[in-house]
Structure 1
Amino acid sequence: MLFHLSIDADEPRHVAEVLAEIMGGEALPFPSVIEGSWVALSGDARGTMIEVYPRGTELMIAKGDADAFGQINPAASRRSPVHFALATSLSFEDVFAIGAREGWTVKYRKRGGAFGVIELWAEDCRMIEVLTEEMQTEYLDTITIDNWRRMLAAGGAEMPAAA
């Protein structure tokens, strides 16, 4: 079970506010790792949150018994393989409206022919797969260990229908 994750952004506060809106939660400052960080809190029973650090933040191992800390790498790329799927109770149209309002690329995709996602590209560089309630059902019906094994046995091209 994933409780939280972190990403970086050019405008951490703004990105955290948009993510909190999608989750139905709240964005608040998150000063414990590096100044300028924000967190999107979902308000759900698991305490799900997304930490949003200033662009280029790299987490560093602290010496001894100290907590990890962040430092900015000014040469860091805006691109990364880091992405995540985020559940929402908002409608398909609401998510698209948020993307349009922000000027972020947003489009619908069907992953492996099995489940839909809305690709919302925060600041047009970080992919967030937003799943409406219908898409969440498709995802949960598809992403199982048995289905994954069947996909691999079939050559790995597409997820099979749920058994």
Structure 2
Amino acid sequence: MIHHISIAAENPLRVASVLAEICHGKLFDFPNPGGSYAVVLFDDYGTGIEVFPLGSVYIPGSDTEPSKVIQTSSSPSFVATHAAISVPASQQQIEQIGMREGWQVALCDRGVFKVVEFWLENWLLIEFLPPELATEYLQSIQPQIVEQVLGQPI
């Protein structure tokens, strides 16, 4: 299970506020790097989303030092990294929030399950699973269905 993820955003406070609204979480200042925020869901899994300023990257530490976040001057147009997150908000609420923010939102059929694609700042994909879609998703990842779709494990 994934307990937390970190993402970067052009406007970290705006993005974190929207994520807190959709996830019914709480928003906190996050100390490192400055200008970062944490959305904490207070669910049974300790789910959290850290939102850093765009250009923030993790770099590895040494044998005696932990990794750290530094600022770079480059910003991606799009990234392969994304997350699917079960949320208490309804599909309609998610779509209304996306429309309000001017961000692309669409219900997308992945074949054996559906997700609400939510494009934070129109460049970073989060797949939201409102309760009815979360149930469908969980049913679709049973071993027999996964093997039917993806074939035998390697």
Class of the TM-score when normalised by the shorter of the 2 chains? over 0.9
AA aligned to 1:65 is T
Identical aligned residues as a percent: 35
Cα deviations by residue, 1:61-112 (Å, 9 ceiling, x for unpaired): 1234222111112123131001111111111111110001111001111112
Please give the residue correspondences for 1:152-163 in structure 2 after superposition, counting only pairs within 5 Å: 152-153=150-151
- Tell me which of 124, 127, 136 is aligned to 2:125: 127
State the alpha-carbon separation in 1 of the partners of residues 118 and 150 from structure 2.
Answer: 28
State the alpha-carbon separation in 1 of the partners of residues 136 and 62 from structure 2.
Answer: 45
Following TM superposition, by how much is the alpha carbon of 1:27 offset from its aligned partner in structure 2, in angstroms? 1.2
Which residue in 1 is equivalent to 2:89? 90
Paired residues in the alignment total 152
Stretches of structure 2 that go unaligned for 5 or more consecutive residues are none
Does residue 27 in structure 1 map to residue 3 in structure 2?
A: no
AA aligned to 1:10 is E
Which residue in 1 is equivalent to 2:73? 74
CA contact (8 A) 1:13 1:27 kept: no
Does residue 115 in structure 1 map to residue 113 in structure 2?
A: yes
CA contact (8 A) 1:13 1:29 kept: no
TM superposition outliers: structure 1 runs of 4+ over 4 Å:
none
State the alpha-carbon separation in 2 of the partners of residues 17 and 84 from structure 1.
Answer: 17
Judged with a 3 Å threshold, the aligned counterparts in structure 2 of structure 1 residues 27 and 78 are, in CA distance, closer, same or farther, namely farther
Q: Structure 2 length as normaliser, TM-score?
A: 0.92
Does residue 147 in structure 1 map to residue 145 in structure 2?
A: yes
AA aligned to 1:51 is E
Following TM superposition, by how much is the alpha carbon of 1:17 offset from its aligned partner in structure 2, in angstroms? 1.1
What's the secondary structure of 1:82's corresponding residue?
A: coil
State the alpha-carbon separation in 2 of the partners of residues 67 and 143 from structure 1.
Answer: 35
Following TM superposition, by how much is the alpha carbon of 1:149 offset from its aligned partner in structure 2, in angstroms? 1.3
Q: Structure 1 length as normaliser, TM-score?
A: 0.87
State the alpha-carbon separation in 1 of the partners of residues 10 and 115 from structure 2.
Answer: 24
CA contact (8 A) 1:55 1:78 kept: no
